[in-house]
Amino acid sequence: MNYRHAFHAGNFADVFKHALITRILVYLRRKETPFRYIDTHAGTGVTDLRSEAANRTGEWQDGVARLAGATFSPEVAALLKPYLDAVGPLPESGRPVVYPGSPRIAQGLLRRQDRATLCELHPDDARALERNMGRDNRLRILHEDGYRALRGLVPPPERRGLVLIDPPFESRDEFAAMAESLILARRKWETGIFALWYPVKEMRAVSQFVGGLKAEGIPRILRFELCVEAIRTEGPLSATGLIVVNPPYVLEAEGRAILRELSPLLSRGPGAEVFVEQVSGE
C-alpha cells in the first residue's frame, strides 16, 4: 500500500477524514484557552489537482467532486460548512484548483492564541510544505520522522489539542507503528485528542489494530469507517477508517449525521456502508 497524499488528494477518504477532523478542531475552538494541533505526517499542506500526481489517479472525481451541487439537510450542511469553506468554491467539474490537506485546514481554524506543529520526513514534501503554508508564526514545521518527533512534542504547553497520525502506509508494519506511537504519546498526554487514519484493505489487520488498542485499556476510543463499495485487497481503496481517542462528546452524533449523508453521495457500488463504534468508553 502507498497512500502518499499527493496521489490521493480529494478522494473519498480525504473527504471522510477531513470532515471529521474539522469537527474536532471546531470543538476545540469553543473554549477561549489555546490549543495545539500536531500533524505527524503533514505532506505538502495543499495539493494542486492539476498536477501530474493528482491527474495520474484522478481520485478526486469520486471524492470532493461529488460534493459539487450536493444538497444536505440543514443540520449536516451546518456541520460540513467549516470543511467546505476550507475547500473553497467547487466549479461544475467539482475540481478546485488546489485541495487543502489537514495542515491547511487546521491553519484556517487556528486562532491567534493557537499553535500547530507539522512534521514531514519526505524532503520534497517538506520543502513544499514550507512554501505552501507561508509565513505564519503560529506554525512550526519539522523535517523529521513524525513518530519519533511526537515523543518530544507531548504534552504541549497548551495542554489542549489534537494529534493527527495519518501515515502513507508505505510500510508493512504501519498499523504497529501507529499503535506504538499512540500508546507512548498518550502515556505522556492522557487528556489529548488523538486521531489515527487508516486504509481498510484487510479486515483482519484492522481488527487486530483496534483490538490491540482496546487491550491497552485506553478508556475512550471511537471508531468511524466508510466503505464506498465492497472491501477488496487488490485495486483502488474502497474503505477507510478513523480512530479517535478522547473524542469530543459531540463527535459521535456529529459523525453519524455527516456520514449518513456522505455515504450515498460517495458510494461506488454494492457494499457501501458506514460503521461507527464505541470501542471503549461510554
* pLDDT tens, residue by residue, 19-65: 999 999 999 999 999 999 999 999 999 998 887 776 777 889 999 99
107 φψ region: left (φ > 0), alpha (ψ -120 to 50), beta (else): alpha
- Judge whether residue 4 has pLDDT over 60: no
The Cα–Cα gap between 144 and 150 comes to 10
pLDDT of residue 233: 84
Backbone angles phi, psi at 237, to 5 degrees: -60, 135
Mean pLDDT of 213-218: 94
Q: What is the mean pLDDT of residues 147-158?
A: 97
> In this structure, what is the dihedral angle of CA atoms 216, 1, 271, 58, given to the nearest 10 degrees?
130
Q: Which helix (H) or strand (E) holds 255?
A: helix 251-266
Q: What are the pLDDT digits (tens) for 92-138?
A: 878 788 999 999 999 999 999 999 999 999 999 999 999 999 999 99
Cβ neighbors of 179 (< 8 A, separation 6 or more) are 209, 212, 213
pLDDT value of position 282: 63
Domain ranges of the chain: 5-280
Q: How far is Cα 48 from Cα 99, in angstroms, rounded to an integer?
A: 6
Q: Is 39 a catalytic residue?
A: no
In angstroms, rounded to a whole number, what is the distance separating the alpha carbons of residues 61 and 65? 5
In angstroms, the Cα distances linking 137 to 44, 70, 100 are 18, 36, 20
Catalytic residue among 14, 48, 125, 166: 166
User: Residue 11 in contact with residue 90, Cβ under 8 Å?
Assistant: no
Q: Where are the beta strands (DSSP E) in the chain?
A: 36-39, 46-48, 98-100, 115-119, 139-142, 161-165, 193-199, 221-227, 239-245, 273-280
- Split at pLDDT 50, 70, 90, the class of 3 is low
Can you tell me the distance from the alpha carbon of 89 to that of 78, in angstroms, rounded to the nearest whole number? 16
Per DSSP, 93 falls in state T
The b/e string for 224-245 (b: 16+ C-beta within 10 A; e otherwise) is bbbbbbebeeeeebbbbbbbbb
- What pTM was estimated for this model as a whole? 0.95
Architecture of the 5-280 domain: 3-Layer(aba) Sandwich (3.40)
Burial class (CB in 10 A: 0-12, 13-18, 19+), 276: middle
Cell of 165: 497520525
Instruction: Provide the 8-state DSSP code for 139.
Output: E
Report pLDDT digits (tens) over 169-190: 988 899 999 999 999 999 999 9
Q: What's the grid cell of residue 150?
A: 511526537
CA dihedral 16, 56, 2, 133 (to 10 degrees): -60
pLDDT tens-digit series, residues 218-269: 999 999 999 999 998 888 899 999 999 999 999 999 999 999 999 999 999 9
- Provide mean pLDDT across the span 84-92: 91
Backbone angles phi, psi at 147, to 5 degrees: -60, -45
